Amino acid sequence: MTTNSLGLDASGLLAGLALVLTAACVYFHLKAFSYWSSRGIRGPTPWPIFGTNIYYLLGNKLEVDTRWRKEFGKTYGIYEGYLPTLRTSDNELIKSVFVKQHSSFTDRNNKFTHEPVQRSWLLWSDGERWANQRALVSPMFSSAKMRPWVPLMSSCFDHFRTEVDSRLAKQKQKQKHDKNVTLNKTDLGCLLLDLISSSFFGLRVDTYKDTTNEFLVQARAFAKLTFARFLGWLLLPRPVARYFEYELVPYKRYEYFDLLTKRIVEERRTKRQGPQKQDFVQLFLDAKLPDSYEPVFNSDDDREAHYNDQMKHEQLEEVQRGHASGARMFKKFTDLEIRGQMTFMFVAGFETTTSTINFCLYELAHKPHLQQVLLDELVTAFGGRKQAQEVATRGFSSLRDNKETIDLLVGLKCLDAFASETLRLYAPIIEVNRLVSEEGGVSIPGDSVGQSKPIYLERGTPVSVNPFILHRDDDYFPSPTEFQLDRFLPENRDKIKGSTFMPFGLGPRHCVGMRFALLSVKLIIARTILNYVISPGPNTTIYPPAGFQQNFIFLLPHANDFRVSSRVLIGDEEEDNGTDHHLSSCE
């Protein structure tokens, strides 16, 4: 047996070393996981290495978050690995973080972002770079800039209607008594990919017939996240993820769209002659900050301010002016940044918009009276059933101009209330966060956890919100699981507590593409109602939904099918005199 000068054998040294290491590990874990308890904030018990993320492996995220809300209250502490994160559904705290103290919470938690294209996404940009990018992007999405997209959106719906009508005709030939066809989210995805390929990249892709088209194949693969990736996000500690440059969305998943954008950008930079295409690639190429500030927003942008906590155009203008005047890094986008924004817009827009339309149709399928309410509103707005039938078949070309179409769609109070209530019940994004960006940390109100003194958060601490939980809190919305159209009627909006409705985020960093998404949803729902009667599909007969898929970003239903049959607005037996005899009230 070997001994050293102190008379200790090797086994004794090893045992002592093991004891010291064990004590050090225990101390490290206790210290790391005392962040919230030392501040008087309760929360679920964390596990070594994995923190509280381990619970999402053992149960559905929405169910786990719902249970924690009931057990620990509106605000509690969790741990993403060893990273302390404050989870809240307290509207006053949300307002402080997302609006009032926005300058101290300008960044997002980007744990798994290392690849250059993805790091350039507006979603992940921080500090001055984010403000600079936002100053360039915001003008593209003002109400005034939405007008040119109306004919394109309507044309894409025409392609969808042609496909659906073809299926209805074939079904009628097979079974004369069955006048329905079953559609699902994949069919809606074809409609959205048609819109994305044309509006984003200036491409014309037959998303219904050409199922082997590379754009279509890559888009559907891009939208899926493997369970292995989910486990990685769930369980990998931040230092390990950073060391191995683990990507939540690996570059291979969006390489096709990156290279597509790169090719289009290079072609357009070398071919400057002739008419330019109207798409987002061109908008990013043309985007430039003027030498002197030019106003971006006007009162038209206020019509949908309730989607961003009543942030009016004067406030938006003030934020935009601050971003533009402080933009010192660049006046135009680099090619890399254009590639980044195009892939980001695809990620941000495809799944969320498709799901929102899917949930809208799910609600309409189970509520025939709502279909009638919205149909009556549309018929009245268009001046009668004859005119409404023309819009159903020809789109909005019968109106004088695109602005008239937008004014009409935005002004439909029942349609807007319907879209709002759908987004409340089925918020498409179930995780929104802000990061403490202030160098010396920041203090936030302690009221949400019953403390009279402010709570100090160190720089880099995330504050997260699950909009699904927030929107279904009975302190904010009576009978929160019920679909109630009248909640969001103009005369009732002031009854909704501030910072309790955030389907597009809140504050200066809310979703920049909100108006484009809303216009897409409203136009598609309006024309669907004018053309079709919607009913539940074979797999969606249960109402409300029995549950949702396990996902950490998107709200996804287990089943998503629905049936449609042709709607006849004008028949031989029906005389149209410019009014609707069955006009229903939103109330």
What residues pair up with 77 in beta bridges, in sequence order? 86
| d(C-alpha 498, C-alpha 95), whole Å | 8
511 is in an annotated binding site: yes
DSSP 449: G
With CA atoms as reference, report the closest residue to 310 among 494, 139, 467, 466.
494
317 phi/psi in degrees, rounded to 5: -65, -40
Quote the DSSP letter at residue 450.
T
Residue type present at position 24 = A
Helix boundaries (H) for 367-497 = 368-382, 385-394, 402-411, 413-425, 467-471
Q: Name 581's Cβ contacts closer than 8 Å, sequence gap at least 6.
A: none
First-to-final CA distance of the chain:
90
Q: Which tokens in the block code for residue 565?
A: 């049959």
Pairing outcome for strands 462-465 and 83-88: parallel
Q: Measure the CA–CA gap between 586 and 566, rounded to whole angstroms.
A: 24
The set of residues, in sequence order, having a beta carbon less than 8 Å from that of 100 and lying 6+ positions away, is none
Spatial strand order in the sheet of 75-80 = 75-80, 83-88, 462-465, 432-435
Q: What angle do CA 321, 327, 332 make, to 5 degrees?
A: 110
In eight-state DSSP terms, residue 497 is P
Distances 243 to 28, 114, 119, 237 between C-alpha atoms, Å: 20, 10, 16, 10
- What does the block give as tokens for 575? 């005389």
Cis peptide bond prior to 557, omega within 30° of 0: no
Q: Which secondary structure element, helix H or strand E, spans residue 137, and what is its range?
A: helix 127-137
Q: Which residue has the tokens 């061109």?
A: 282
Sheet arrangement for strand 532-536: 181-183, 562-566, 532-536
Minimal CA–CA distance to 154: which of 504, 408, 417?
408
Q: How many angstroms separate the Cα of 115 from the Cα of each of 126, 137, 163, 454?
A: 15, 22, 39, 38
Q: Taking every pair of C-alpha atoms in the chain, what is the biggest distance, in angstroms?
A: 110
Pairing of strands 455-457, 75-80: unpaired
- Annotated binding-site residues read 511
- Annotated binding-site residues for heme read 511
